[in-house]
Amino acid sequence: MRVLFTVPPLAGHVNPTVAVGAELASRGHEVAWTGPAGALAGLLPPSARILSAGERADGGGYAALHERWRDLRGVGALRFLWEEALVPLARAMVPGVARAVEAFAPDVMVCDQQALAGPLVARRLGVPWVTSATTSAELTGPFADFPKVGEWVADRVAGLLAEFGEGGEGWDPRFSELLVLVFSTPELLGSGSRSGPQYAFVGPAFGARPAAPGFPWRRLDPRRRRVLVSLGTLNQEAGARFYRAVLGAAERLADEVQLVLAAPAELVGEVPGHVLLQPRVPQLELLPHLDAVVCHGGHNTVCEALAYGLPLVVAPIRDDQPIVARQVAAAGAGVRVRFGRTGAEELRDALTAVLDDPGPRRAARRIQASFAAAGGAAAAADRLEKLL
């Protein structure tokens, strides 16, 4: 079987496909990725076959787009995501994805929900396609309380389909009728999520990551409970005020807790000796040594923490993060705090709650068990093999 992954240039959307691709390759199948090659080269293993699609011609690249996006919140961030990122990315990727299909001749395409060019090309060329749902936000009726926002998003999707001559048939490029690989489980999503025979809840799929050399493992303090604080790869610049609150909470918990803070030193400044500040951390290797995680609600980080049974303090910033944070809180596996207005006292109380109250840890371990039972990359590969 030949499988072509169509992905946006975002680590959280690429990482699960790395694990699934490796599993497929171990079974003798051929795999390749298509998307903006410059960005994907830093996210995929060196041996990965990358077929370029969607390189920006304006010279600014996706880093420049991120500079404009990082300080937006709420509806403003959503509008930017669709009008300045997802729809233009789809337009830019369509020609390259079509060339990739012609060159690689896939038996099936695995298309990320934010790489809309994949389904457009697959339908045009008659290639079976499945959805890669690397965040659970779209599966839980995210706009049920904001119908006009939902209508606006639906209009953006319909306009894109019409632009490429694929409108008018009532199909949605975010949801394959053949198979939707959901990298989560109902235990986290809760009731009300989409369901049906085409929805495969496979749980997180962990693939190889770029190395984070030089992590000072010996500085982890066995006498204190250890907590990772991470805002992911795209949100660090927005975190200066939040990092100050984190340090304030760390000061109040100095005798009990060691924080491992993944952040740029220039945004944080001086830290006390019991705070371990690193620009990057080997997150998957570090999680078994931790007691809790503070994060922004990125789906990958949340699922990785829960896969190790770790309770969470979640401070969502934008996009799908408030939805994921709501899922964590509703499942009882953590505490949600306000990213923009949380102070040191509130963060200290939230950390104390997830560290001292056994409830969040029990809930996190329940979700951990559901992830293990779901099967991850192997289960995703099983479902793909059954298509052909």
Structural domain boundaries of the chain?
2-178, 217-372
First to last CA, the chain: 8
Closest CA to 113 of 95, 92, 138, 94: 138
Helix, coil or strand: residue 200: strand
Return the pLDDT at 256. 92
Q: pLDDT value at position 267?
A: 85
C-alpha to C-alpha distance for 12 and 204, rounded to whole angstroms: 11
pLDDT at 10: 87
pLDDT attached to residue 58: 46
Say yes or no: domain 2-178 is CATH 3.40.50.2000: yes
Which helix (H) or strand (E) is 230 found in, with range?
strand 225-230
Tens of pLDDT, residue by residue, the chain (388 residues)? 999 999 999 888 999 999 999 999 999 999 999 999 999 999 999 999 999 998 865 444 555 555 565 666 666 777 888 888 899 999 999 999 999 999 999 999 999 999 999 999 999 999 999 999 998 878 877 666 667 877 888 899 999 999 999 877 779 999 999 999 999 999 999 877 788 899 999 999 987 666 667 899 999 999 999 999 998 765 555 667 888 899 999 999 988 999 999 998 888 888 998 899 999 899 999 999 999 999 999 999 999 999 999 999 999 988 788 889 999 999 999 999 998 888 999 999 999 999 999 999 999 999 999 999 999 999 999 999 999 8
Tokens of 369: 């068990």
Q: What angle do CA 177, 133, 124 make, to 5 degrees?
A: 45
Report pLDDT for 153: 87
pTM: 0.90
The reported pLDDT for the residue numbered 139 is: 85
Q: Are 188 and 331 in contact (CB under 8 A)?
A: yes
CATH 3.40.50.2000 describes domain 217-372: yes
Q: Which two tokens stand for residue 179?
A: 């198979």
- What is the layout of strands, in order, in the sheet containing 2-6? 50-52, 30-35, 2-6, 108-112, 129-133, 180-182, 199-201
- Residue 309 corresponds to which tokens in the numbers above? 């049974």
What is the pLDDT at residue 80? 81
Place of tokens 């020609």: 95
